[in-house]
Amino acid sequence: MKSFVQKHGKLLISVAVALMVAAACMGTLMQNRQTRSLVGAWMIYDGYDGGDLAPNVLVFAADGTGIGYALDSDGLDNGMENIVLPRERLSDAQPFHWQQSGKTLTMTYDAGDTRQLEIGIFPMGNTRELSLTLGGLGGGWIPVTIAE
């Protein structure tokens, strides 16, 4: 008497191949979906009147992308979550790279500008929030999706 595998071996192989192809297609679709939206965080600076950051400017820093964007924050409330912004509302990309030393996070832009941010974690109600300060002025992280 033949076992189930011996009887239905070709069918099982066909199903396995079909599942592998489906998984590969799903992976490609997920990669394409990720390239259509950029998920990262906004650092909010209020009233910063030195350097090249104007008051109420948001700087987008996407993990692993090394790209920053600036956008006037008028009309956006501090603490908003899941903001979706169309690409055309963003300024040009400003490439930079990260360096961290202790609690200091340094953003060095390709144009030569360097910003040193102090890293801190502060309680916010029942949760803890990563916060950054630039020259004593506050900033924070807000999840954002950039719509392509």
Share of the chain above pLDDT 90, in %: 0
Structure tokens at 49: 């009147």
Share of the chain above pLDDT 70, in %: 5
Q: What is the pLDDT of residue 102?
A: 72
Query: Do residues 70 and 57 make contact, with C-beta atoms less than 8 angstroms apart?
Result: yes
Most confident of 18-32, 51-65, 109-123: 109-123
- The whole-angstrom separation of Cα 71 and Cα 109 is 17
Domain definitions of the chain by residue range: 4-34, 37-147
What is the pTM assigned to this prediction? 0.37
Closest C-alpha among 137, 96, 139, 100 to residue 114: 96
